Structure 1
Amino acid sequence: MTIDDGIWSYPAGSGRAGGQDLTGYAVVASDGATLGHVEREAAPFGMRHLIVDSGAWVFGRSTLVPAGVVRAVDPAGRKVRLDCTRDEVKQAPRFRTDSETRDSGYLSGVGDYYARLTTPA
């Protein structure tokens, strides 16, 4: 469905425990910028992702982040660390409405974007 179906699964060693609720966890980019908090998690079409409420950092919009971009989950600190920078998340295909989470074409485009970021050159 996308150039890297692994982009929709949490990486081994990320610390993500099955059934763990990440709602409310802070989301931190690889450059140390806090992007907002996890609003919810979903997996339509087997494409697991987080919806991140980014508050004011990008004019109050939410962002869709595939699970494969998660570098680490810190349950004690209630943080999710990503394997991309704030600017890379900001440049991702724009998330506008929940209906996009049911559009496999939109999700594939998001997956392709993030897979290019996380695939070694």
Structure 2
Amino acid sequence: MTDHFWTYGTDSGYLAGTDLTGWRVEAADGSIGKVDKHSDEVDDAYLVVDTGVWIFGKEVLIPASAVTRVDLEGHTVHLALTKDQVKGAPEFHSEKHLADRQYREDLVAYYRVGGPF
């Protein structure tokens, strides 16, 4: 993990500019969905993960610092979070939450309390 919540760790294997859209997402204990969108902007990097039918189509915002490994050949993103941590995360609606500072602060608090940060 990195000290920067919204930044990919230097050991994650993420290469700037790589389009992760559509890639599989693996939690620490199994598959959780696919990347719907992502950002690799400095200090504002994240994944929007569509969990599909796994938890009834919920989208969640995952900070880049939760990414432990990017498998470039397998088109898979691996997280330090468990399925339950992702499942319990606040639901994400891009039109409502993307620029909402309070939502971001709540998300940081959720992952710091219930996550590996």
* TM-score normalized by the length of structure 1: 0.85
CA contact (8 A) 1:52 1:62 kept: yes
Q: Paired residues, what number?
A: 115
Matched residue SS, 2:109: helix
Detail structure 1 runs of 4+ shifted over 4 Å in the superposition: none
User: How has the CA–CA distance of structure 1 residues 43 and 21 changed in structure 2, closer, same or farther, with 3 Å as cutoff?
Assistant: closer
- Measured on the aligned residues, the alpha-carbon RMSD in Å equals 2.0
CA contact (8 A) 1:44 1:102 kept: no
Kindly indicate which of the two structures has a greater share of residues assigned to helix: 1
User: How has the CA–CA distance of structure 1 residues 13 and 5 changed in structure 2, closer, same or farther, with 3 Å as cutoff?
Assistant: closer
Matches within 5 A, 1:1-121: 6-31=4-29, 33-42=30-39, 46-116=43-113, 117-119=115-117
Deviation for aligned residue 1:112: 2.2
Identical columns (%)? 37
CA contact (8 A) 1:7 1:114 kept: no
Matched residue SS, 1:8: coil
Kindly indicate which of the two structures has a greater share of residues assigned to strand: 2
